[in-house]
Structure 1
Amino acid sequence: MPPRPLRELPQRAGFGLKPEHYADVLAAAERGAPPAWAEVHPQNYFGAGGPPHRWLTAIAEHVPLSFHSVGLSLGSAAGADTGDLESLATLCDRYEPAMVSDHLSWSNGPDDKFPDLLPIPYSDAALDHFVREVGRVQDRLGRSMLIENPSRYLAYAGDDWEEVDFLHQLCRRAGCGLLLDINNVEVSAFNLGLDPAPWLDRFDPALVGEVHVAGHSRKADDMGGTIAIDDHGSAVRNSCWDLLATFRRHAGPKPVLIEWDSDVPDFAVLMAEVAKADALLAREPVDA
């Protein structure tokens, strides 16, 4: 079955839905002002029922959903995790999310699942593997998906591709789209000693179906330097806002997610970040 075209999220800011905010979202909906859209990690809803589904069912009546998977492990040697894929397909049939995405990474070994999104080499073999596995997922879901650029702490020696070119080729060969995480660009550029602005400028906006921004921390490493940690545990950095504004000017508006996954703040604090993103999306002109 050929994948359905990408369904569009509102070209506004959304937020990552957490249990702490279930009641706040429904209260906002009752006031007639629900958030524009919400992203959920579908693995948190793979159970058949219970309170998580009661809350999500109620919220989905008011707020479009984007499913951001963290468990397919597309880059594993064995390919996409079959159990996760079947559970994801069932959940998509149940909620019909506006978007589905996963990562340019792997997390499964022959006998283990790791709680990390581990990097892949940008090789011809890895590209062929990802094209095949993304196609397999899209065929099972009956829809196109987005693949997110990773946050990187090191680079493999002898890569055949630069990251942006690898992702562009993947999107064009597999028929998927790109989830552009601007915070990940900033983290990777810091850790690899590169300039994030020209890196970001090379991404093709036509392939981008969703954008992420987030905060990250910077800590001393064991070699006397500093490393950027993609922890999603604070407000979006000013430098990340600046990169988003630059991308917005030449790409036009896109759905933008505020990621805040650890040290989760009060709903009002999170919505202030969402409002800041909405204001940026509304005011920034598109470059001629």
Structure 2
Amino acid sequence: MKTFNDQSSHGSIAPARPKSLPSLKAGVGLKPEHYRAILDQHPAVGFFEIHAENYMGDGGPPHRYLTAIREMYPISIHGVGLSIGSSGPLSEAHLLRLKVLIERYEPAMFSEHLAWSTHPSGYLNDLLPIPYTKEALRRVVEHIDTAQAFLGRRLLLENPSTYVQFAESSYSEPDFINEIVRRTGCGLLLDVNNIYVSANNHGFDPYAYVDQINHLAVGEIHLAGHTRELDTDGSPLLIDTHDRYVDDAVWSLYAHAIRSIGGVSTMIEWDANIPDLPVLLAESDLANAVSLAATG
């Protein structure tokens, strides 16, 4: 597969804000539990985001509902299975399924995680961290170039939530991500909850992280809930569970991000213990209010 651009890992791409979803109306994740209510009620939400892997079949009710909802709202496609950080090559079969899905629904954005989930003997149903080394950087850049070339569009890369750090890392996470952007021209999906979770788990300043990231590259923001637990030595441990309301501390960090970056398309993630649709819509309304206050 050819690379996305001739400069790829040997030059730099001038930063530019990715084409945006609505920035004045936040979006929510599209869940089967809400299909009928969305079509009946036409809620005032900015967009819906789907997980790519849930729609890789050829047909059936999910595609019938998504087709109808796509006629009413913009959508964003978020991948969780491409394994951008894996040591081996990207799966051409998975890339082909993504391409078919993207061409079918023409999403405003497509995003993937800075993580890995595949190895030679199989697939792990998790998003695992990578060391921030020169070798890992080269591999991630190569994979993003491959994906962008094959899909024919810019990818947004999401910062991870992490629970361990690698002793051999030679970059900070913001520097590592910024260098990926510089080499590939990809955009960023800034997950504010992931920043807060990782900052708590590793003891860094989440506000400094937001300040260090390439603001021009941010095309979408994610917000979600997390769970507070204790690790084996009794220290606080946050888990990115996507199963509850956005924490007050994350709302504060989001306001800082909006003041720093400007108005950016924002999406509420809620992937477990799915609430009724009005609960999700209230969270998206709160995101709108926080964003408006931060930029007003």
1:13 aligned onto 2:26? yes
Assess if the C-alpha contact under 8 Å between 2:263 and 2:295 holds in 1: no
Deviation at 1:78, TM superposition (A): 1.2
Deviation at 1:83, TM superposition (A): 1.8
Q: Is the 8 A contact 1:179 1:210 kept in 2?
A: yes
Q: Who is 2:169 aligned against?
A: 159
Q: Distance in 1 between matches of 2:91 and 2:204?
A: 33
TM-score scaled by length of structure 1: 0.94
- The answer as to 2:148 corresponding to 1:138 is yes
Deviates more, 1:162-171 or 1:73-82: 73-82
Give 1:88 shift: 0.4
CA RMSD in angstroms comes to: 1.4
Residue by residue, what CA displacement relative to the aligned partner does 1:47-94 show, whole Å, maximum 9, x if unpaired? 000001000000000111111000001111113222211100000111
Aligned residue for 1:126, secondary structure, equals helix
What amino acid is the match of 2:187?
G
* Segments ≥4 residues shifted beyond 4 Å: none
- Counterpart of 2:37 in structure 1 is 24
Measure the CA separation in 1 of the matches of 2:67 and 2:105: 8
1:128-277 paired onto structure 2 within 5 Å = 128-277=138-287
Q: Between the two structures, name the one with larger relative contact order (CA 8 Å, sep ≥ 6).
A: 2
Q: Which segment drifts farther, 146-155 or 188-197?
A: 188-197
Separation (CA, whole Å) in 2 of partners of 1:224 and 1:274: 34
CA distance in 2, matches of 1:63, 1:79: 35
| 1:160-212 deviation per Cα after TM superposition (whole angstroms, max 9, x unaligned) | 21100110110111110011001000000111022212122211210100001
Cα distance in structure 2, aligned partners of 1:34 and 1:182: 23
Instruction: Tell me how far apart the structure 2 counterparts of residues 6 and 141 of structure 1 sit (CA, whole Å).
Output: 16
Residue-by-residue CA offset, 1:212-265 (whole Å, 9 max, x unaligned):
111100112222222110001100000000001111112110001111111111
The residue type equivalent to 1:8 in the other structure is S
Partner Cα separation in structure 1 for residue 220 and residue 153 of structure 2: 16
- The unaligned stretches of length 5 or more in structure 1 are none
Identity over aligned pairs, percent: 45
**Equivalent pair of 2:80/2:113 in contact (CA under 8 Å):** yes
Partner of residue 77 from structure 2, selected from 45, 61, 67: 67
Q: Which amino acid aligns with 1:15?
A: V
TM-score when normalising by structure 2: 0.92
For the 8 Å contact 2:116–2:127, the answer to whether it is kept is yes
Query: How many aligned positions are there?
Result: 282
